[in-house]
Amino acid sequence: MKKRLIRICLVAAVCFLCGCGSVFDKEYVVVSDYVPPVQDNVSREDKITVRDLNELKAALLGLVSSGEDNGAIQFDAAYQGDTAADMASACWQVRTQDALCAYCVDNISYELSKIVNHYEAEISIHYSPAALNAADIRQMQYSTGIEDIIRSAMEAGNRRLVVLITRSFYSAEEMEILVGRIYRSYPASAPAEPKVSVNMFSGSGRQRLYEILLDYGMTGEELEARRAELLALEPFRDVDTEMLDPAHRALLAADYLVDNCVYAADSQGHSAYAALVGQEADSEGMALAYVELCRRLEVPCQIVYGQKNRENHSWNIIELDEKSYHVDLTACQAQGMPSGFLLRDEEAWVSYRWDTAAYPVCDGPLHYQALLAQPEGTPEAGAEETAEPSEEILNGS
């Protein structure tokens, strides 16, 4: 009887334990769908996600602008378009319709792969070995300020300048003309006017990329040494130029060149360097030197290309008190200052010819003799009482 009671207790205990296990199973076991583990190399922080063709093209352009050789593009799961067709179209469009890519990209290749529910593309960009690195290309929204960039490039002795402008109206020929005009406005920016060639690459709209090549005709060491000589020149070191009015500053610059540069019509000195450092130049070299000296003295001055006695000749036009005057230093040196300083159009036209539409009208009231009679600090406003031009000037002698 006692043994039977023990067996009954054991069976009851077993049943109780089995029942508790079933309760535990029902409360804690959770069944869910199988999710495959994500591989570490599937998601990368440098991937660019795009949702349509425009974003795809922008992503490719971003890689080129940054000078990247490789990149990864991820297509959004809800990408709007045909992934494969858009990839091929985008590569073609950026190479043919973007000025930067047209200049520096030889080819864009890619490998397109499907990852679960989206596509990814591995991009390889092959650049032209002759192109400048993207990081060295100057980028501008508009052409405003391009003059300063070109001038800085010449002052640094750069032989190649690449500028990308989002909206520009310059043609390649007009850009070449602009470079020449900048040099003639700042003749000390280079020891000699560089030969200029411009390669232009067009994009959509008015986007333009200009590759400006500058040939100074000398080595880098010679270029640097000559420019240093120009910068070291201090022709007015002993003169308090701030006490002079603009007309007397213009006369000071003219006197300096007449005294320190020999005019030779057949000279090979066509530059400000030749006139100021070599101290011998033709009419162009003397006129460029005068532009530089007037620039230092803050007198508006430009070079004029025309003829004198039916021979090619260069001289200057200066502005004083909003009036313009001709100045020909070769005449000043040969025949005296009154023959070439502060001439009006009707006086100069006796011997000179120029494109009158390309230069300002010179009709100012001031003359050399009247300038000599003025105190050096007085403005040009008192020039109404001017001396009449001499008979020699009117006869062109």
352 and 263 housed in the same domain: yes
What is the mean pLDDT of the segment spanning 261-272?
92
- Look at residue 378 in the predicted model and tell me its pLDDT: 54
Please check the confidence at residue 37 and state whether its pLDDT lies above 60: no
Which of residues 127, 158, 174 is at a domain's end?
A: 127
| SS3 state at 108 | strand
pLDDT band of 373, cuts 50, 70, 90: confident
Considering the domain boundaries, does residue 20 fall inside one? no
- Look at residue 243 in the predicted model and tell me its pLDDT: 93
| SS3 state at 316 | strand
Considering the domain boundaries, does residue 42 fall inside one? no
- Look at residue 18 in the predicted model and tell me its pLDDT: 44
Helix (H) or strand (E) holding 280: strand 280-281
Please check the confidence at residue 329 and state whether its pLDDT lies above 50: yes
Residue 158 tokens, joined: 């750069």
Our count of domains for the chain comes to 3
Which of residues 224, 259, 279 is at a domain's end?
A: 224
164 and 203 housed in the same domain: yes
Which residues on adjacent β-strands are paired with residue 73?
Answer: 48, 121
Q: Whole domain around residue 86: which residue ranges?
A: 48-127
pLDDT band of 379, cuts 50, 70, 90: low
Considering the domain boundaries, does residue 200 fall inside one? yes
Instruction: Quote the pTM value.
Output: 0.77
Write down the residue that tokens 């530059």 correspond to: 271
Considering the domain boundaries, does residue 18 fall inside one? no
Name the nearest CA neighbour of 362 among 343, 340, 389, 341. Answer: 343
The Cα-based distances of 63 to 114, 129, 135, 331, 374 in angstroms read: 22, 17, 12, 60, 66
Which of residues 74, 96, 127 is at a domain's end?
A: 127
- Return d(Cα 72, Cα 124) in angstroms, integer: 9
What is the mean pLDDT of the segment spanning 140-145?
94
102 and 61 housed in the same domain: yes
- Average pLDDT across the chain, whole number: 86
- Return d(Cα 298, Cα 280) in angstroms, integer: 24
CATH number reported for the structural domain that contains residue 187 in this entry:
3.30.110
- Look at residue 357 in the predicted model and tell me its pLDDT: 96
- Number of Cβ atoms within 10 Å of the Cβ of 181: 14
Each residue of 333-366: pLDDT tens digit?
Answer: 999 999 999 999 999 999 999 999 999 999 999 9
- Return d(Cα 372, Cα 299) in angstroms, integer: 18
CATH number reported for the structural domain that contains residue 247 in this entry:
3.10.620
- Look at residue 117 in the predicted model and tell me its pLDDT: 87
Considering the domain boundaries, does residue 2 fall inside one? no
| SS3 state at 163 | strand
CB 324 within 8 A of CB 364: yes
CB 143 within 8 A of CB 73: no
Each residue of 39-76: pLDDT tens digit?
Answer: 333 344 578 999 999 999 999 999 999 899 999 999 99
What region does 321 belong to: left with phi over 0, alpha with psi -120 to 50, or beta?
left
- Return d(Cα 316, Cα 283) in angstroms, integer: 10
